[in-house]
Amino acid sequence: MEAMKIVVMSDTHLAQPDDEFKAICSRFCEDADMVIHLGDWEKVGILNYLERYPLEGVSGNMDDYAIQRRLPARRVVQGGRFRLGITHGWGAAQGIRQRIGEQFAGVDAILFGHTHQPLILREGRMLWFNPGSMFLGRGGCRGSIGLLKIEERIEAEIFELHGRAGLKKMEERVGA
């Protein structure tokens, strides 16, 4: 079985795709089997641009009405043989996993945004994954994007974005 590549992004907070956003998408999304956006696109121009890729997404609390009308706040998507719960998230970072976890039953992973803080955490067989924010990162990370590779299990990576020139693979982080 060939690995499935899923690019995961969140909290882009852009009105229109700029050159840096397009360059990041070109680098990560061109060969992706799926692109997931976890909300706070902000304006519909970002959604329209990303539809050139095999896209799944949810709306976030900062999204305009056009996005909220087109996308649900949460959903479950299939990644290979795995069920992935996707949502933006809401409220304070403290307790966010508990609040989100109550929304999903029978999933193998929960992907969320909202906190702008990257997270890869395995609790038993559950993967919690937050790619952070592409441009407005918090917690010592200026911006990041996530990658899931799906084969026999879900492998998760987060890359810190250093402008157009460089990337830095982040180590597993526990928090939030």
Question: At 118, which CATH number?
Answer: 3.60.21.10
Q: Does some domain include residue 44?
A: yes
- What pTM, to 2 d.p., does this model score? 0.91
Residue 56 has pLDDT above 80, yes or no: yes
Residue 7 has pLDDT above 70, yes or no: yes
Residue 134: Cβ within 10 Å count: 24
Q: Does some domain include residue 176?
A: no
Give the domain extent around 165.
Answer: 4-170
Q: Does some domain include residue 95?
A: yes
Q: Could you tell me which of 100, 132, 133 has the C-alpha nearest to residue 118?
A: 132
Residue 15 has pLDDT above 70, yes or no: yes
Q: Does some domain include residue 49?
A: yes
Q: Does some domain include residue 153?
A: yes
Q: Could you tell me which of 121, 151, 150, 117 has the C-alpha nearest to residue 131?
A: 117
Question: CA torsion sign, 131 to 136 to 139 to 143?
Answer: positive
Which residues, 6+ apart, have CB-to-CB distance to 82 below 8 Å? 108, 109, 150, 154
Q: Does some domain include residue 162?
A: yes
What does the alpha-carbon distance between residue 78 and residue 159 come to, in Å, rounded to a whole number?
23
pLDDT band at residue 164 under the 50/70/90 scheme: very low
- Give the bridge partners for 161, in sequence order: 167
Average pLDDT over residues 37-62: 96
Q: How many CA atoms lie within 13 A of 147 on its CB side?
A: 22
Higher pLDDT, 121 or 142: 121
Q: How many residues does the chain have?
A: 176
Which stretch, 19-23, 31-35, 92-96, has highest mean pLDDT? Answer: 31-35
Q: Does some domain include residue 78?
A: yes
What does the alpha-carbon distance between residue 84 and residue 25 come to, in Å, rounded to a whole number?
22
* Structural domains counted in the chain: 1
Q: Does some domain include residue 160?
A: yes
Residue 169 has pLDDT above 90, yes or no: no
